[in-house]
Structure 1
Amino acid sequence: MHDDALNPLPQEVIELRAWLSDWYDHAFAVGYVHPPFTLDEATADRLEGYFKAGLTPAEGAILYFGVVH
């Protein structure tokens, strides 16, 4: 079990959480998602890959919700 009070989260986890929050804010602002939105494990894994690839939250939202041609 992880106790945040005793052991702060790794910086990458903090940055990922902030990125996911910004991703959601952008996706909501442009109408891709509507509350309530549930982030399932598969989506979280995919978005973490976008984060690790260096995409911005807006780029991640566009890539995730974009239409494949």
Structure 2
Amino acid sequence: MDDKSGLQQQEDVAELSGWISVWYDQAVAARFIDPPFVLDDTTADRLQGYFEVGLTPDDAVHAFFGVMH
């Protein structure tokens, strides 16, 4: 059973949503994707994993698209 309160879960979702929004903007700016980009479940899960391990949106763009630094 999840110990997080409903309010905490809403805050987590809002934080993830904002993080993905920044990721999206950076991916568009880097020309890896073109709007409109449809976020499917598999991609959303992958991005959530990057978020949960603490990657920045910029690092996640590079990890997602396999760009070497």
TM-score after normalising by structure 2: 0.81
RMSD: 1.8
Pairs within 5 Å for 1:10-25: 10-25=10-25
How many residues align? The count is 62
Pairs within 5 Å for 1:31-50: 31-50=31-50
Give the helix-richer structure, 1 or 2: 2
* 1:16-65: CA deviation from partner (whole Å, max 9, x where unpaired): 00000000000000101001210000000000000000000000010000
- Gaps of at least 5 residues in structure 1 are 1-6
Q: Tell me which amino acid in the other structure corresponds to 1:10.
A: Q
Q: Runs of 4 or more off by more than 2 Å in structure 1? A: none
Percent identity over the alignment is 48
TM-score after normalising by structure 1: 0.81
- Gaps of at least 5 residues in structure 2 are 1-5
